[in-house]
A = this chain, B = another copy of it.
Amino acid sequence: MIKIGIIGLGYWGPNLVRNFSSTEGVEIKYLCDLDPKALSGWKKMHGVKLTGDYREILRDPEVDAVAIATPVSSHYALASSALSAGKHVLLEKPMASNVRECMELIESAERKNLVLQVDHTYIYTGAVRKIKELVAAGEIGDILYFDSVRVNLGLFQHDVNVVWDLAPHDLSIIDYIMDRRCVAVSGSGVANFGGGLENIAYATLYYESGAIAHLHVNWLSPVKVRRILIGGTKKMLVFDDLEPSDKLKIYDKGVDIKNGDKDGVYKALVQYRTGDMWAPKIDGAEALKYECAHFADCVKNSKRPATDGAMGLKVVALIEAINSSIASEGQKIYMEGNYI
């Protein structure tokens, strides 16, 4: 039985409590929040200790792991202490405030042989797992482009821009399915209401393979859109997360190179072909439920999580680079270091 403490009971923490409560092989021993009001709702929960001091959890030798769902600025300090205390860590996304912090957490976890999982929940949805499966099986062919639109009329944050808020979803998905080197990024954005925090942003990611990825994140759209297009050499797919059913559609469409006659101004070199469309059945279970079980499995069997520290780091590194590009008038930023 893995004994766990959950730190941070604000917006996301209660979802962790609910899901770990029913995760086989896991027992919640502690719930922790600085705010006594956030704790009070859990008083009746059987066998769980409530505390305002996370160090109480770290000191308890019975505790195997902690799940951290606090504001980003506190991620590094908390996760670092937890790893030092020998606890496995499930850390809310984004992993930390900057690349350096992420790297230190990774090194710390590796030194201690501890699991460090970042809570990129989207990776555990049925749709993204199905996309990964199709890409891995070669169904799509080589990926040529990845295009994501993630816009709505959203709550403006006052401490981070729209890239930090919305892009982690797409960047983790890209990292999960592209599985190759991003060599550079460029971005553009605008802060329409002052304060220096962009509410609309666009980013292009250039891959070693020649593929391109592009994001549009926006807090100021009259309509909600959550749509990803992926073009491959064999097939193309659309993932529309707002569709009530048939969220994922695979199109047997593409282009064939024609090496024929080239005279005439409007003659095509490349011709398209179209075939059937197919929408595979998607596992509709709650992603977090699946993710909590995955964390337990990794802790128990010393496995590497699908959303490990390396993914968390890449996401933060890409956000930093996109924001650098936006700040430097769209200049292309080359990704460096061994973390890419």
Q: Which residues from chain A sit less than 8 Å from chain B, CB to CB?
A: 10-11, 44, 71, 73, 144-145, 147, 149, 151, 153-159, 184, 186, 188-190, 192-193, 195, 199-200, 202, 204, 206, 210-212, 214, 216, 218, 220-224, 229, 231, 236-238, 242, 244-246, 249, 251-255, 257, 262, 265-272, 274-281, 329-332
Q: Please give, as numbers and ranges, the residues of chain B lying within 8 Å of A184 by CB-CB distance.
A: 329
Q: Report whether B188 and A212 are in contact in the complex, using a CB–CB cutoff of 8 Å.
A: yes
Q: Report whether A231 and B221 are in contact in the complex, using a CB–CB cutoff of 8 Å.
A: yes
Q: Please give, as numbers and ranges, the residues of chain B lying within 8 Å of A218 by CB-CB distance.
A: 145, 147
**What is the CB-to-nearest-CB distance from A39 to chain B, in angstroms, rounded to a whole number?**
16
Given contacts A268-B156, A278-B278, A279-B278, whether A220 and B231 have CB atoms under 8 Å apart is: yes
Copies of the protein in its oligomer: 4
Given contacts A144-B192, A210-B190, whether A153 and B266 have CB atoms under 8 Å apart is: no
Main secondary structure of the interface of A (DSSP, over half): strand
Q: Please give, as numbers and ranges, the residues of chain B lying within 8 Å of A274 by CB-CB distance.
A: 153, 281
**What is the CB-to-nearest-CB distance from A7 to chain B, in angstroms, rounded to a whole number?**
15
Given contacts A202-B204, A277-B279, whether A154 and B272 have CB atoms under 8 Å apart is: yes
Q: Report whether A276 and B268 are in contact in the complex, using a CB–CB cutoff of 8 Å.
A: no
Q: Report whether B236 and A229 are in contact in the complex, using a CB–CB cutoff of 8 Å.
A: no
**What is the CB-to-nearest-CB distance from A196 to chain B, in angstroms, rounded to a whole number?**
12
**What is the CB-to-nearest-CB distance from A283 to chain B, in angstroms, rounded to a whole number?**
11
Query: 27 A-B contacts, Cβ less than 8 Å apart?
Result: A71-B265, A144-B190, A145-B200, A155-B271, A156-B269, A157-B268, A158-B267, A159-B265, A188-B204, A192-B210, A193-B270, A216-B216, A220-B236, A220-B254, A221-B236, A222-B249, A222-B251, A222-B253, A223-B251, A224-B244, A245-B277, A274-B281, A276-B278, A277-B279, A279-B279, A330-B330, A330-B331
